[in-house]
Structure 1
Amino acid sequence: MALTHITLRDFVIVRELELDLSTGFSVLTGETGAGKSILIDALQLALGARSESGVVREGANRCEVCAEFEPTIAIQAWLEAAGFDASAELLLRRTVDTAGKSRAWINGSPATATQLRELGEQLLDIHGQHAWQSLTRPDAVRGLLDAYAGTDIRPLKAAWQVWRQAQQALADASQAQSTLANERERLAWQIGELEKLNPQAGEWQDLSTQHSRLANAQALIEAANLSTALLEGKDHEAAGGALSQLSRAIQTLQSLGQFEPEFNELADLLTSAQAQAEDVAHSLHGYLRKTDLDPAHLAQLDERMGLWLSLARRYKKTPDELPLTLQTWHQELAQLDAAADLDSLRKAEQAAQTACMQEAKAVSRQRQKAAKPLAQAVSNAMQQLGMQGGRFEVQLQALDAPAQHGLEEVSFLVAGHEGSTPRPVGKVASGGELSRIALAIAVTTSELGEAGTLIFDEVDSGVGGAVAETVGRLMKQLGLHRQVLAVTHLPQVAACADHHLLVSKAAVNGQVSSQVRTVSGEERVSEIARMLGGEKLSATTLAHAREMLGDAPLKPAGRKTTQS
């Protein structure tokens, strides 16, 4: 897995850049201010770093960054799980406009910055020029040891949060016992009032329908009687109702149907209407048989609906809401009972504490197991970086009380030379020593990561001479197994690289633009000589540069670089 291609458009001072990268150890060099770190910034943006409008080149509407990688099987599995195309290439693309609005894509599909960051953790491992500053921060120091130990503290953090919540619940319940008792008493009384009514879901609508029917029973009966009389005739007179009139009309039309066929069709229509009218009359008789005024039932309905309305007004609810209100109050009462159960809360807190301590002790065992190997590995690297006799130690100091990150605080101690007592890094080390210690840790821990590409952004700041040569050899050694990209100002480091990229600035149409190109042969000799002695190249510096490059021959040329 490696970074194979970078494309930039209108990024900071880069108008357009396409850069192919090879495996092994590559360096980026150039004059101060040429933009050596711009590529690192662009990669971080492509991998989910926070976006802002300042990255857009002046005069442009938006910038675009593309990074192409060779994905591993694990990366392809991640892509498939996240719903992205898991092809043989991984293309990350991100744009930012002048308003700071960002858009991102993974293999052509829209993606979030969070997804880019998740991928970035598996693709790149970046060590910055100010990495030494983190050696004095407890969280960063602890993170380095945990990374070296392969410790996942997420289960510990989760268990600690559960424990804290259980502690808070117990404390709240203990302080609020009197308040909880009063609240429970009030809620129980309200439940008792509603349970006397025993409201059922849908009952209010049924009561309203029945009440409306009984309250209008007299009018309904009179309407049914009148309709029956109109259909059948008063006192069922043979010729007084609509049914008898329909019958006479049918007979009249049928008697002349032999002379006018259309009369037969009309008679059929009237016959159908007569049948429907007879059905209506039959239904009305049935309604009248089962319907009476029933004032006693109406009074019962009035009384029960009055209780519904009274309770609804008291508790500021609509009548329809009373059944759900009763159910909700029962649930709240159960919660109050649980909150007031101090014994159960104490048991829950103790169980959460036990679980948290188990996770914390497991983390402590891993840290204790990894502390000495990490200290020894960094100490060995310090010897190579010109700190002969220096010693690095990892100190684990027990905390008075468990914390979210474990049972101990982690700190780094260092002895700058043989015979001295190790003391906290920030108190005994000079700036140059801090840089070398940070580099030693970076080299030690980078060998353990899964990221296929390691980037060192001027981590060699503050070193020089023979130590610088050692730094270059260490990075070249890392490049045998991983892709290593280093931004450096040291010619000793640059001479050890397998591939050399030169960053330069030039004025294009009145605007300064940064470019990157691969240099080899005499161009590379000139760049190493410039790094040795400045802009004016002498025969001595050129000879020295050729000698340095002779000690670190180049690999066969890698991919080509295109700029514009």
Structure 2
Amino acid sequence: MLQTLSIRDFVIVDQLSLDFGSGFTVLTGETGAGKSILIDALSLVLGARGEGGITRAGCEKAEINAVFEISALAELQAWLDENEIGVDDAQLLLRRVIYADGRSRAFINGSPATIQQLREIGEFLVDIYSQHAHHSLLKSASQRQVLDAYAGLQPLAAQVAAAYQAWQVLYRQRMDAERNAEAYAVELAELRDQVRELAALAPVDEEWEPLQQEHVRLSHGASILAGGEECRELLSEGELAAIRQLNRAQSRLQELAEYDNSLQEALDILNTALIQLDETDRFLNRYLQHADLDPERLQEVENRIHELHAAARKYRTRPEALAVLLEACQARMGELERTHDNHQLQLDEAKARSQYDGLAEQLSLGRQQAAQSLGEKITAEMQRLSLSGGRFAVDLLAQEPAATGTEQVEFLVAGHAGVAPRPLSKVASGGELSRISLAIRVVTARQGDVPTMIFDEVDVGIGGGVAEVVGQLLKTLGNQRQVLVITHLPQVAAQGSQHLRVSKQVLDGQTLSRIDALDQNQRVDEVARMLGGVEITETTRQHATEMLAASH
């Protein structure tokens, strides 16, 4: 449930903080006051794409914070655990910062996050319905999604789509193999020869550089041995060897240091130098005794380098890339061998088709069962919305196997008794479409588990007694979910358990929007304004009072 929404420097809002309760909240205000700003801000903090002009004029950035209570949302908590996002006290803080230059940053519980993560979290938290959603219901894809959501079939529908894609991949492989069988046979023969030759060569990853280094060492073996002996002669073996000379200097300095302690520092440095020279001499002695500078090994290394060079030239690659080439050739050869075995391809394709058919059949059965139930429930709501005698039905039309299943979903409606239902897109007027859409949303919302629903002026084209029924429907829905409605109808506004009013004012030459939570007296004034326009009379005020009293 949405608990708090804070907005700073967003469009025409300088600073705003709202607390929300459970149940049915209405948001009203004059045209142009910025009622949809709240929805826009909430959409952004839930991962919607930002557009230009979001930050308030003259400001560096806009900032939106939303706090949700999620103790009852086990699936969301599992998602947070999976993404290693900690939650304190079952509260979730989402934050979105949008800079004037278009850059954007997102945070979840104070930690940096991606916009995609916000979007995924938003699917657990809020459903937003706008008046444009009416028109989306005219599309077959939207109608199918509504039915699947109502029936809880989305996971199965996703499995069907995945099975269809797997089947189509194998189908395309088989068709491709049949069309290119001759060319693939030639390529496979060439690959087999290439793999056989490279496998015999047995190139190894990271072999080339050490081989080069070993070749340099072996090819200069005589120089290395002669130079090592010469160094030992200079260090310790010769009559004027450096170590002997420094030992003499050490003895002399020891004598002199007894007369002047300040010479001790020089003696310490010399002692360190002698230790390092001794270590150097011992190292050279060990190296010369164990030096592996075998001419036969040199020949082996030269032969290996020649083989790798020759293969690299033949296959137009670098010597160090031969091992990778062998792996790639083996992988491609495996693909072609499977492709060459057309019988196995047919078996694999048939198995994938069978898996798809089984899942699609389950999906069809689920849709058939849900279609009748959905039609009956929406028909019942239509009676309440002054569509007496009207009827709603869900038709399932057979189609060729597809990622969406083996049937198209089509919503049919009859506006009054005695008329055969026809496709929703062909018979519903604007007002009827609004009412039918609302009936669909109310019915399907009862099956869902998203805790917060927001309706952005979905009551457009509705008035009179129907508007009061719409308000009652939304109020009833508020008993099950947190419902926030932006409305221009006083009959709907009067039904709310919480009432927020949007207004605008000009300060220092800037137009700013503000939202206030209304007490009972303020609600009377606001509903009276909605009833009677700019000038509020005692009659409209009395009417508003009666309307509020009747709804509670």
What's the TM-score once normalised by structure 1's chain length? Answer: 0.81
CA RMSD of aligned residues (A): 3.9
Could you tell me how far 1:278 is from its partner in structure 2?
A: 12
What is the percentage of aligned positions where both structures have the same residue?
44
Q: Is the counterpart of residue 51 in structure 1 residue 53 in structure 2?
A: no
**Aligned to 1:92, which of 81, 90, 94?**
94
Corresponding residue SS for 2:53: helix
Corresponding residue SS for 1:53: coil
Q: Is the counterpart of residue 410 in structure 1 residue 409 in structure 2?
A: yes
User: d(CA) in 2 for partners of 1:356 and 1:546?
Assistant: 60
User: d(CA) in 2 for partners of 1:261 and 1:174?
Assistant: 97
Structure 1 residues 380 and 331: CA distance shift in structure 2, 3 A: closer
Structure 1 residues 28 and 329: CA distance shift in structure 2, 3 A: closer
User: d(CA) in 2 for partners of 1:155 and 1:70?
Assistant: 31
Could you tell me how far 1:347 is from its partner in structure 2?
A: 1.3
User: d(CA) in 1 for partners of 2:114 and 2:215?
Assistant: 60
Q: Is the counterpart of residue 468 in structure 1 residue 467 in structure 2?
A: yes
Q: Which residue is equivalent to 2:394? A: 394
Q: How many residues align?
A: 524
Q: Is the counterpart of residue 367 in structure 1 residue 364 in structure 2?
A: no
- Contact 1:416/1:429 (CA < 8 Å) preserved in 2? yes
Q: Which residue is equivalent to 2:457? A: 458
Equivalent residue letter for 1:368: Q
Q: Which residue is equivalent to 1:110? A: 112
Equivalent residue letter for 1:62: K
User: d(CA) in 1 for partners of 2:286 and 2:453?
Assistant: 94
**Aligned to 2:130, which of 128, 131, 135?**
128
Q: Which residue is equivalent to 1:174? A: 178
Equivalent residue letter for 2:176: D
- Contact 1:10/1:60 (CA < 8 Å) preserved in 2? yes
Q: Is the counterpart of residue 155 in structure 1 residue 159 in structure 2?
A: yes
Q: Which residue is equivalent to 1:79? A: 80
Structure 1: 5+ residue runs without aligned partners?
A: 232-241, 254-259, 263-269, 554-564
Structure 1 residues 454 and 222: CA distance shift in structure 2, 3 A: closer
Greater Cα shift, 478-487 or 466-475: 478-487
In the TM superposition, 1:82-481 aligns within 5 A as 82=83, 83-152=85-154, 153-194=157-198, 306-319=306-319, 321-322=321-322, 325-326=325-326, 328-399=328-399, 401-481=400-480
Cα distance per residue 1:82-136 (max 9 Å; x no partner): 3232324322221211112111222222222222222222222222122221221
Greater Cα shift, 531-540 or 208-217: 208-217
User: d(CA) in 1 for partners of 2:458 and 2:437?
Assistant: 8
User: d(CA) in 2 for partners of 1:283 and 1:125?
Assistant: 76
Q: Which residue is equivalent to 1:25? A: 24
User: d(CA) in 1 for partners of 2:456 and 2:64?
Assistant: 19
User: d(CA) in 1 for partners of 2:225 and 2:499?
Assistant: 104
- Contact 2:191/2:329 (CA < 8 Å) preserved in 1? yes
- Contact 2:71/2:91 (CA < 8 Å) preserved in 1? no
Structure 1 residues 301 and 43: CA distance shift in structure 2, 3 A: closer
Greater Cα shift, 162-171 or 332-341: 332-341
User: d(CA) in 2 for partners of 1:317 and 1:420?
Assistant: 75
In the TM superposition, 1:31-70 aligns within 5 A as 31-70=30-69
User: d(CA) in 2 for partners of 1:77 and 1:187?
Assistant: 48
Structure 1 residues 473 and 177: CA distance shift in structure 2, 3 A: same
Structure 1 residues 509 and 351: CA distance shift in structure 2, 3 A: same
Structure 1 residues 292 and 500: CA distance shift in structure 2, 3 A: closer
User: d(CA) in 2 for partners of 1:487 and 1:279?
Assistant: 86
Q: Which residue is equivalent to 1:256? A: none
Corresponding residue SS for 1:55: coil
What's the TM-score once normalised by structure 2's chain length? Answer: 0.83
Equivalent residue letter for 1:402: P
Corresponding residue SS for 1:360: helix
User: d(CA) in 2 for partners of 1:481 and 1:292?
Assistant: 87
User: d(CA) in 1 for partners of 2:466 and 2:533?
Assistant: 21
Equivalent residue letter for 1:342: N
Structure 1 residues 402 and 261: CA distance shift in structure 2, 3 A: same
- Contact 2:218/2:293 (CA < 8 Å) preserved in 1? no
Could you tell me how far 1:452 is from its partner in structure 2?
A: 1.9
User: d(CA) in 2 for partners of 1:38 and 1:110?
Assistant: 25
Could you tell me how far 1:329 is from its partner in structure 2?
A: 3.3
Corresponding residue SS for 2:98: strand
Could you tell me how far 1:207 is from its partner in structure 2?
A: 8.1
Could you tell me how far 1:536 is from its partner in structure 2?
A: 2.1
Structure 1 residues 49 and 319: CA distance shift in structure 2, 3 A: closer
Structure 2: 5+ residue runs without aligned partners?
A: 249-254, 258-273
Q: Is the counterpart of residue 529 in structure 1 residue 528 in structure 2?
A: yes
Equivalent residue letter for 2:99: D
